[in-house]
Amino acid sequence: MKVLITGAAGMVGSHAAEYYANKKCRVVALDNLMRSKIFGFNRKSVEYNWHYLAKFKNIKRIKADIRDKACLKKIFKSGIDLCIHTAAQPGVGFSIDDPLEDFSINASGTLNVLESIRRYNKKRCSFIYCSTNKVYGENVSLLPLKEDKTRYVYKNTTAISEKMDIDLTTHTPYGISKYTGDLYAQDYASIYGIKTGIFRMSCIYGARQFGFEDQGWLAHFIISMLGKKPITIYGDGKQVRDVLYVTDLVRAFDSFHRSKYKNGVFNIGGGAKNSISLMEFIDMLKKKLSINPKIKFAKWRAADQKVYISDIKKVERALCWSPEISVSDGVDKLIRWISVNKGYFK
């Protein structure tokens, strides 16, 4: 089997590439290595993962942009069985500062990939799109909540399903550009018969994640605490997310590829059993690291959902899949990786 991973130097992309390389597949890893620039990181981030993938003899790395149509044409004409499209601009803040570039990468870039499949490879290639819970926008925030000691809790539900309304709400440019790609992926599946899995992801975390304040908050908190740097909490810290370790996510991708389903839209994350608030996570890290961090509080950020927990019943049922790695075990894995590489974050 031949697999294309776009955004292969990202955390999700690098784990997907590694997964299929270990299965003895031929893997094409595509990335433009611009993530460090997006987040203003003064050291390399995705470059670490890019070099990590070099150790696999069956991974062919191509430094290129998904907006490079000639490059995509060449790749898909060579024959691809599975395309996992993780390439994206992932920062809400960046999208607000530069919505045109955000749209160019997330929406136009996704359309380029889909069109390349349609023109050169549609009878053979399955497509997996990494969407986001941000497609639901602030509609999630309209759900009534109650406030407990350490977290906000939904009053009338336990999690957000794929039936959540998407329209007539604020999304942020990032949410809009990702939803545009989501819709194109749905239509290309329906109109052109491309086997397509759309995964609306909650918080994905794991080893080889370079956390920033704007994206990858679990890793960002660990990096900050180990580096004795203050952590800024936007809001009161009781906001809740469900979190999923990256290898569990990649297993879901593979389950869809091997499944009977021609297309599907799935909310995916750790679910209610793997949900945690910001302050609960900090308390967990205090115990695991024996560090008491400096905490600063700032005003709420635009479109920041107080609670988002994925209803994963559909993906569990359809793909015979469920999370295997608990929050505590996954955080231990991430701490070990950051600790080994902590000199990289100074």
Query: Strand ranges (DSSP E) for 207-344?
Result: 231-234, 240-245, 263-268, 275-277, 295-298, 307-308
Element (H, E) at 6: strand 2-6
CB contact at 8 A, 171 and 305: no
3-state helix, strand, coil in the chain (%, to 5): 45, 20, 35
User: Considering only CA atoms, which of 269, 276, 282 is closest in space to residue 148?
Assistant: 276
Which two tokens mark 278? 């910001």
d(CA 86, CA 110): 10
Sign of the Cα torsion 67, 71, 77, 78 reads negative
174 is catalytic: yes
Between CA 187 and CA 310 the distance in angstroms is: 24
DSSP of 182-223, one letter per residue?
A: HHHHHHHHHHH---EEEEEE-EEE-TT---BTTB-HHHHHHH
Q: What is the CA radius of gyration of the chain?
A: 19
Residue of 20, 174, 205, 245 marked catalytic = 174
Q: How far apart are CA 83 and CA 4, in angstroms?
A: 5
Kind of pairing between the strands at 145-147 and 152-154:
antiparallel
- Which string of DSSP letters, residue by residue, matches 138-191? GGGGGS-EEE-SS-EEESS-SSB-TTS--SSS--HHHHHHHHHHHHHHHHHHHH
Distances (CA, A) of 20 to 3, 8, 14, 164, 259: 8, 12, 10, 33, 17
How far from the centroid of its chain's Cα atoms is residue 243's Cα?
A: 11
Q: Write down the H helix ranges in 23-91.
A: 35-38, 46-53, 69-77
Catalytic residues: 174
